[in-house]
Amino acid sequence: MSAIDVGRERANRAARRSVWSDALEAAMWLAAITGIAFMIASGGFTVATAANWWNTLGRAIGIVAAVMMMTQVLLASRAPWIEKVIGHDRAIAKHTRLGKVAILLMFVHLILMTATTAAFDDRSFVEQTIRWQDYGWFMLFAQIASVSFLVVLVTSLTAVRLRWRYERWHAVHLLVYVGVAFAVPHQFLEGTTFVGGGVAWWFWAALWTVSIGSFVVYRLIRPLLLTGRHHLTVESVDTLGDGSTSVTIAGRDVARLRAQAGQFFLWRFLSPGLRWQSHPYSLSAAPGDRLRITVKASGDGSGRVAEVPVGTRVMIEGPLGIFTHSRRAKSALLLVSAGIGITPVRSMLEAVEPGDDCTVVVRVRSRAEAPLLDEVEELANARGATLHVLEGQRGATWGTAELPASIGQFVADPAATDVYVCGPPGWSTVVAADAAAAGVPAEAIHREEFGW
């Protein structure tokens, strides 16, 4: 394929991905509108009195909340097509946004339904809250769901989230799925839409099956299958000069994982102290018949990786992420990293094709503290890539005090360059903004965030 054909193919791929991402959002709104149409068709649209109006609105809001809830479950399912179309970090960001709005709408639905039903039956709000259970077990389940959602909402507030350890926050966050499981029955057994049965019933059943089914398949069953199929074990653990640790993992048919350089997995080392933790680490070498990660100690889990015994079994989820060559839309490539953000950049550099126009910029405080820099130097040499090492203390730009940096000084034609950035979140934001200001198109700026 000529360079022009490669460029055209990349541009087409980028356009297709953007269409799919928009299509998913459009599908969510279409499902919500269809759900409301079914509600109206089943006679659920009554506006005779003010209470009827509010009741109808409460039902419609419940439908929108349900569709948002199933979409956020789907986004968190790690289904490969979601990962490919949107990318893991954007899917999780959307999941977080939609999840919060969905939970808030569920509470609006709950308040409106309780207040209007209390008005119909001439009861107080509190009495109606207690009497919901008279409607059937599914309403008690719906109340349990509300409590679960409330706990998740409160613990997702930034003030709480930043104070909690990730594992504790994540364990509580899983209550959202308990909430979904407890909320669904009341929709089928109490919702007016289902009075008519038929198409509406199948419509909702299909939506929930896709959403919950994807979650069960890709979050629960697939990791177990991968563990059984690939039998991954730790082959070597090496401490590097800067104190970080490279771990090589070997197994059966590793190539069948179809991992790409720049991607990451969620790793669970089945060794004492680590078996209950799963952490995301990017591949620090292009994947072949082995996988390699490089970990910098930043807390309890990452700090223990150096102690993992050789031979330890490893469970994985992935491959995840779209910080890969297949995401490229332009002819030239600029890889920019700082700190441990060098891991996916190093593996992408290893996978650079001969003749590729590739430049690498690595910002380091000092060589002694820079993980994998020697390997990056060797690879840049071997691949014919231009390497710039910006060494020194932070300055006013994303470079160093001694070596200020701007994207324009590293690439000849920003409009024809893909820029991949991985490093501390604040720093990556500055690099990405600089790239945009230099004229790199938004779809050609790729970031991997090492945070949550």
Ligand X SMILES: Cc1cc2nc3c(=O)[nH]c(=O)nc-3n(C[C@H](O)[C@H](O)[C@H](O)COP(=O)(O)OP(=O)(O)OC[C@H]3O[C@@H](n4cnc5c(N)ncnc54)[C@H](O)[C@@H]3O)c2cc1C
For ligand X, the binding residue among 43, 243, 272, 299 (CB under 6 A) is 299
Give me the least distance between CB of 104 and ligand X, in Å please: 24
Residue 279 or 446: the one with the smaller Cβ distance to ligand X is 279
Work out how close the CB of 390 gets to ligand X at its nearest, in angstroms, rounded to a whole number: 20
> Which range in 48-56, 64-72, 296-304, 386-394 contacts ligand X by CB under 6 A?
296-304
Minimum distance from CB of 385 to ligand X (Å)?
Answer: 20
Q: Which of 298, 366, 381, 409 binds ligand X (CB under 6 A)?
A: 298
Q: Does 238 bind ligand X (CB under 6 A)?
A: no
CB 295 within 8 A of CB 245: yes
**Least distance in Å: CB of 307 to ligand X?**
13
Single residue of 165, 168, 367, 394 touching ligand X by CB under 6 A: 165
Could you tell me which stretch among 7-15, 53-61, 118-126, 293-301 binds ligand X (CB under 6 A)? 293-301
To ligand X, the closest distance from the beta carbon of 386 in angstroms equals 24
Least distance (Å) between residue 139 CB and ligand X: 36
Closest distance to ligand X from the beta carbon of 91 (Å)? 12
Give the separation between CA 311 and CA 413, rounded to whole angstroms: 48
Residue 228 or 451: the one with the smaller Cβ distance to ligand X is: 451
Position 295 contacts ligand X (CB under 6 A): yes
Q: Which is nearer to ligand X, 88 or 330 (CB)?
A: 88
Can you give the chain as a three-state secondary structure string? CCHHHHHHHHHHHHHHHHHHHHHHHHHHHHHHHHHHHHHHHCCCCCCCCHHHHHHHHHHHHHHHHHHHHHHHHHHCCCCHHHHHHCCHHHHHHHHHHHHHHHHHHHHHHHHHHHHHHHHHCCCCHHHHHHHHHHHCHHHHHHHHHHHHHHHHHHHCCHHHHHHCCHHHHHHHHCHHHHHHHHHHHHHHHHCHHHHCCHHHHHHHHHHHHHHHHHHHHHHHHHHHHHHHHHCCEEEEEEECCCCCEEEEEECCCHHHHCCCCCCEEEEEECCCCCCCCCEEEEECCCCCCEEEEEECCCCHHHHCHHHCCCCCEEEEEEEECCCCHHHCCCCEEEEEEEHHHHHHHHHHHHCCCCCCEEEEEEEECCHHHCCCHHHHHHHHHHHCCEEEEEECCECCCCCECCCCCCHHHCCCCHHHEEEEEECCHHHHHHHHHHHHHHCCCHHHEEEECCCC
Angle subtended at Cα 183 by Cα 181 and Cα 185, rounded to the nearest 5 degrees = 85
Minimum CB distance to ligand X smaller for 218 or for 450: 450
Rounded least distance, CB 89 to ligand X, Å: 7
Among 191, 251, 280, 414, binds ligand X (CB under 6 A): 280
Q: Decide: is 300 part of the binding site for ligand X (CB under 6 A).
A: yes
Binding segment for ligand X among 110-118, 203-211, 279-287, 330-338 (CB under 6 A)?
A: 279-287
Candidate list 311, 355, 426, 451; residue touching ligand X; CB under 6 A: 451
Instruction: Give the rounded distance of the alpha carbon of 132 from its chain centre.
Output: 37
Residue 249: CB minimum distance to ligand X, A: 13
Binding to ligand X by residue 273, rule CB under 6 A?
no
How many other CB atoms sit within 10 Å of the CB of residue 330? Answer: 23
Task: Check residue 173 for interaction with ligand X (CB under 6 A).
Answer: no
72 binds ligand X (CB under 6 A): no
Cβ at position 244, least distance to ligand X in Å: 7
Nearest distance, CB of residue 65 and ligand X, angstroms: 27
The residue range among 46-54, 187-195, 275-283, 376-384 that interacts with ligand X, by the rule CB under 6 A, is 275-283
Binding ligand X by CB under 6 A: which of 301, 319, 399, 414? 301
For ligand X, the binding residue among 186, 279, 327, 363 (CB under 6 A) is: 279
Binding mask 104-123 for ligand X (x = CB under 6 A): --------------------
Interatomic CA distance for residues 400 and 391, integer angstroms: 7
Residues between 326 and 365 with contacts to ligand X, criterion CB under 6 A = 340, 343
Contacts of 43-52 spanning 24+ positions with Cβ under 8 A: 43/192, 43/195, 44/192, 44/193, 51/116, 51/119, 51/120, 52/116
Q: Which residue ranges make up the site for ligand X (CB under 6 A)?
A: 165-166, 264, 278-282, 293-296, 298-303, 321, 340, 343, 448, 450-452
